[in-house]
Structure 1
Amino acid sequence: MKLMRIGAPGQERPAILHEDGTRRDLSSVVEDITGAALTAAGLWRIGEVDPLSLPVLDPEARVGPCIGRVGKIMCIGLNYADHAAEAGMDLPEEPILFMKATSAICGPNDPLIIPKGSTATDWEVELGVVIGKTARYVDEAEAMEHVAGYCLVNDVSERDFQQKRSGQWVKGKSADSFGPLGPWMVTRDEIADPQALPMWLEVDGHRYQDGSTATMVFGVAHLVSYLSQFMTLEPGDVIFTGTPPGVGMGQKPDPVYLRPGQTLRLGIEGLGEQCQTTVPWDAV
């Protein structure tokens, strides 16, 4: 199943994307696409409904973030071997963890806001893993049972805030609009192998990132298990699993960063595409 949220910010309605391309209103089935709907019981309830029996939503309506009321966003740094090489850094012996504020979440096609004082806003196409079952001290062999599905995410980053302003990476990761989710969440059963998904990102038509989840250092099962050793993962939590090479920071001979008026397009096979236009902080 492909689950979506459709409508203006704060007024999104839960929806399922039918195979004919129509967005069908799930409001009569679930309140929203949040933790409760993402459990095994919640997904079973949605799966029992004939989408053709549901009302069709306006095809021109805004697509919201595919998950509502996210509890936490956990992110993994330097999780692609080729990206670590691009950054000139050694591969980590264990996953590098940081968090992104949930206030950064936005729709997949919402404006990307360049923060006040930013000179180094960057892009990162990533696979998002959505938790569907509480995970606490989970073995890797059982980890995938705790995954509800997957979505496309853009881990937008301000590199100067991240690297030159002292302390944790989170301050360079959490500005408004720095966490587009969607357009939809695909349930786990529809992705045969999350470690074999082509992914790409373009800025103004130029392809900067063209990679695959196959080059992850730590795969999805390992990440779910690893995170669960340090914190409880709950239904509706999202893991940003890292990015392949081609970020602006890694361009040679000089880094390339975003400026207002540019257009980003990005996608992962089976998980749809996003399109964002950059705007200055004082234009919204």
Structure 2
Amino acid sequence: MARRRKTSPAEDLMDIVAMLPWWAGVALAAVSYLVLHRMAGQEVVAAVKPGEMGTMVTQTLWKTLATFGQYLLPLICVAGAGMSAWRRRERRKLITNVGQSKAANVLDVMSWREFEMLVGEAFRLQGYQVVETGGGGADGGVDLVLSKRTEKFFVQCKQWKAYKVGVEVVRELYGVMAAKGAAGGFVVTSGRFTEEATRFARGRNLKLIDGPLLHGLIRQAQNAKGQTPERETDQPPTPATVDATLTPECPTCAKPMVKRIANRGANAGSEFWGCTAYPACRGTRQID
């Protein structure tokens, strides 16, 4: 995914504030104004001895910075708070639109940024605390960091419309998980995963969530929590428990699916997802 390059420290600070709740940004603006306003109002002690010249220059410099900073820094914090509030509203709107949509391509028509916001809000609905890292850096491309108490989970988002997510992406995230001591991880895509990627993730605390699974996860979370992302549960879902609780949608008709056992053929005796509308619909999905 392409990432916007920061062009100034002010933008970096604004983005950091935007990761916080909007009210935290407003509080930072108020505190920074009070502190800097007090510094700007302090008198500079005139130098009467040669050795005091350096102290006077330092005081003058801090006073000048505080004079301009008492307006600039709060303005940046307020802008970050506004961005945080706007993102919150957009995330809720995305969740509602996707949860209510019956369109099969609802995830494909959004931008990578909207997809990342959607995934983050989906995990908030599951009781996680979510930090958007922006990915593409030294963290190995991790887009979201989930936390609950002492456990940490990494999420990599791939809003790919035409290509399947390969095993290289899954291996990369698994390596970052091991290096940084994460309890688990998720790779989320609007498309599909290759068979090699699915085989690699099997048996590891690493969950692959494709478009239909994500759609079902959002609907299930909304039904379970009444669309109250702030509410937390005692037992947050992990990559292992998501598999046990998530009912995917049929890739053909978007109806719920159930687990079935193949009676004949090369996969006889194996479980698979079958459409609840069978035999009218013969859509199937593999169980990871």
TM over 0.5: no
Between structures 1 and 2, the one with greater helix share: 2
Between structures 1 and 2, the one with greater strand share: 1
TM-score range, shorter chain: under 0.3
TM-score, scaled to structure 2? 0.24
TM-score, scaled to structure 1? 0.24
Higher RCO (C-alpha 8 Å, min separation 6)? 1
